[in-house]
Structure 1
Amino acid sequence: MNRQHLMSNLLLLLTACIWGFAFVAQRQGMEHVGPFTFNAVRFALGAASLVPLILWLDRRAGRSKAERRRQYGKGMRAGFWAGLVLFGGASLQQIGLLYTTAGKAAFVTGLYIVIVPFLGLFLRQRLGLNSWAGAVLAVVGLYLLCVTNDLSLNRGDLYELIGVFLWSLHILVIDRLSKTTDVLKLSLFQIIVCSALSFLVALVTESIRPEDVADALIPLLYGGICSVGIAYTLQIVGQRGAQPTHAAIILSMESVFAAIGGYWLLDELLGTRGVLGCLFMLAGMLLPQLPSWKRKSPQTIS
């Protein structure tokens, strides 16, 4: 592993830590505001936190007006598509947190590490044996963690599970767009799109009151500045020097940090069955990162 890959992996691990504890903030924030209001405000705060940094970097780089205009145009176009996917994933995750714990939501969301390689099949990439084995372990873990005795999923877990497919798509979209677009401008515009769509839905479905937003200020500040403004930017910067599957593996560690945060700050307990399910899911997330059990071609996803 060269220096660039190591730095990218460390940035992605920091991102996972921030996102893990954000599950706690997201649950606490919804004690006062609805899910779309929470997302609208936190993504707006995230966008606002990026603007001064982007303007300062543009001045420092001495870019011409034409160059800045070109970069903003590319960032706006790329951010629109990334923001649509981000809105879908973030909305399902936030709604799911109304009905499930922070730790369970994070572990279910972490299944994108299993789905990303399977989506690679549409890019004509083959799956290694590790990916198949990891998928089996993850499904067993999901069953132990979320499926009840009558073989049904908790409502919140189901929302999180559907959202996994959008988070998986977001990993691949960012991987492609970050190679041709200024990462900060891509981050800014995807966040703006997500915030704007959340505001529109909140205006129709929820009651937005300033006093409720003020009561949720601390979770909103963490969710906006740290989880959105900082972490989503770190994700884009980190993914530029990391392979998509490896990036998904590291980012999936947010589930571990969320379980720690849920236990530490919210007194959430998973129980023996839940802990066993988490261990199976974690093994399924990490297995594709290990050396393949058989020789693979250059296009094989391990």
Structure 2
Amino acid sequence: MLRKIEESSSSIHNKKFLLAILILLVTLIWGYAWVLMKASLAFMGPFTFSALRFSTGTVTMFVILFVLKLGLPPKDQWKHLAVIGLLQTTVVFLFVMYGLKFVDAGKSSVLLYSMPIWSSLLASIFLSEKIPKVKGIGLALGMTGLLTILGWDVIVQQDLTVLAGELLIILAAVSWGISNVYYRKKLKNVTNLQVSAYQMLFGSLGLIIAALITEWGDAVHLTTESLYYVLFTGVLASALCFTLWFVILNSIDMVTATLSTLLVPVFGMIFGAVLLNEKLGINVILGSAMILTGIAVSQLYKRKTSPS
């Protein structure tokens, strides 16, 4: 009996460790991807890049589905997959990539990762997920950290194009939050790999249409560098990370998952400063510390309330 308890405890510990590794991997890749997304604008239009990126990701996902011999998702789930693809891929990356024309990569990642507040609020309304007091404090710390990094851009006068870009990225964050909740509420009998592949397929179709309508005839410079941007963001940041994100959502509650992704803007800021020479001020350092503290508070609460 004691041996079974020890094996069960070890299994739980191993699962927590694996989830922590998955979250760190996803956030690192997504943080670095912001630098590549910004840099890609020197080679092609924002919608063209997104269309190429997610088309590449879609092909990668369907190769995986073929190798693993996973069939089609249930027909009654296709409409839900299409909605998720529209919300999480088409809308999010149309708004983000256009906003990146006017906003730094690091700051853009901060704005998009206001997503946790929208996900958590929507989950509490539509999924009846309660936000415990301690986790609420952790979430508040994380969001305060984001606002500290963002600075006073939203309340002081500045270039209207920059404000418009920031607004688009915030709207993208809201769309992502809606997608997370819709996924939890509507998707049934569909594997994580199928969700990732088919939502990306539908989302890519939307991006292709947008690129054809708005950027037809615009120059596209395909070089070794630009192809690297497309392949890294398509295969790793899209196909791999979106799949892992759905696995994470299925394994832990919405608040903890979304709070953990606040690491992405921290990495986005660091990569932006190192690789793009974007300014890394004291507000970024303080904000990052708040974000990490918020994540620690959330995880501490979970450990304290876990059965011994």
Alignment correspondent of 1:79: 81
Alignment correspondent of 1:93: 96
Q: What SS is found at the alignment partner of 1:291?
A: helix
239, 248, 252: which one aligns with 1:229 = 239
Q: What SS is found at the alignment partner of 1:148?
A: coil
Alignment correspondent of 2:117: 114
Shift of 1:213: 4.2
Q: 1:93 to 1:139 in 2, by over 3 A?
A: same
Shift of 1:276: 3.1
- Name the % identity: 23
Count of matched residue positions in the alignment of Structure 1 and Structure 2? 285
Shift of 1:208: 4.8
**1:193-212 superposed matches below 5 A:** 193-208=202-217, 211-212=220-221
Q: What SS is found at the alignment partner of 2:102?
A: coil
CA RMSD of aligned residues (A): 2.9
Unmatched runs of 5 consecutive residues or more in structure 1: 296-302
CA distance in structure 1 between the partners assigned to 2:59 and 2:135 by the alignment: 39
CA distance in structure 2 between the partners assigned to 1:149 and 1:35 by the alignment: 24
Shift of 1:26: 0.3
CA distance in structure 2 between the partners assigned to 1:217 and 1:236 by the alignment: 27
Q: Does 1:19 align with 2:30?
A: yes
Q: 1:44 to 1:136 in 2, by over 3 A?
A: same
* Larger mean Cα displacement after TM superposition, 219-228 or 111-120: 111-120
Q: Does 1:269 align with 2:273?
A: no
Q: What SS is found at the alignment partner of 1:269?
A: coil
192, 200, 203: which one aligns with 2:201 = 192
Alignment correspondent of 1:300: none
Contact 2:260 / 2:295 at 8 angstroms: preserved in 1?
no
Unmatched runs of 5 consecutive residues or more in structure 2: 1-11
CA distance in structure 1 between the partners assigned to 2:25 and 2:36 by the alignment: 17
Q: TM-score, normalised by structure 1?
A: 0.82
CA distance in structure 1 between the partners assigned to 2:77 and 2:29 by the alignment: 24
CA distance in structure 2 between the partners assigned to 1:187 and 1:97 by the alignment: 24
Q: 1:258 to 1:43 in 2, by over 3 A?
A: same
Contact 1:46 / 1:224 at 8 angstroms: preserved in 2?
yes
Shift of 1:37: 1.0
* Larger mean Cα displacement after TM superposition, 39-48 or 196-205: 196-205
Contact 2:54 / 2:200 at 8 angstroms: preserved in 1?
yes
CA distance in structure 2 between the partners assigned to 1:134 and 1:151 by the alignment: 27
**1:1-302 superposed matches below 5 A:** 1-58=12-69, 68-69=71-72, 71=73, 73=75, 76-86=78-88, 87-122=90-125, 123-134=127-138, 136-138=140-142, 140-146=144-150, 147-148=152-153, 151-152=156-157, 154-155=162-163, 156-176=165-185, 180-208=189-217, 211-214=220-223, 216-284=226-294, 287-291=297-301
CA distance in structure 2 between the partners assigned to 1:217 and 1:112 by the alignment: 29
Shift of 1:40: 0.7
CA distance in structure 2 between the partners assigned to 1:121 and 1:77 by the alignment: 24
Contact 1:39 / 1:90 at 8 angstroms: preserved in 2?
yes
Q: 1:10 to 1:76 in 2, by over 3 A?
A: farther
CA distance in structure 1 between the partners assigned to 2:20 and 2:76 by the alignment: 26
The one-letter amino acid paired with 1:202 is A
Contact 1:107 / 1:278 at 8 angstroms: preserved in 2?
no
Q: What SS is found at the alignment partner of 2:251?
A: coil
Shift of 1:135: 5.3
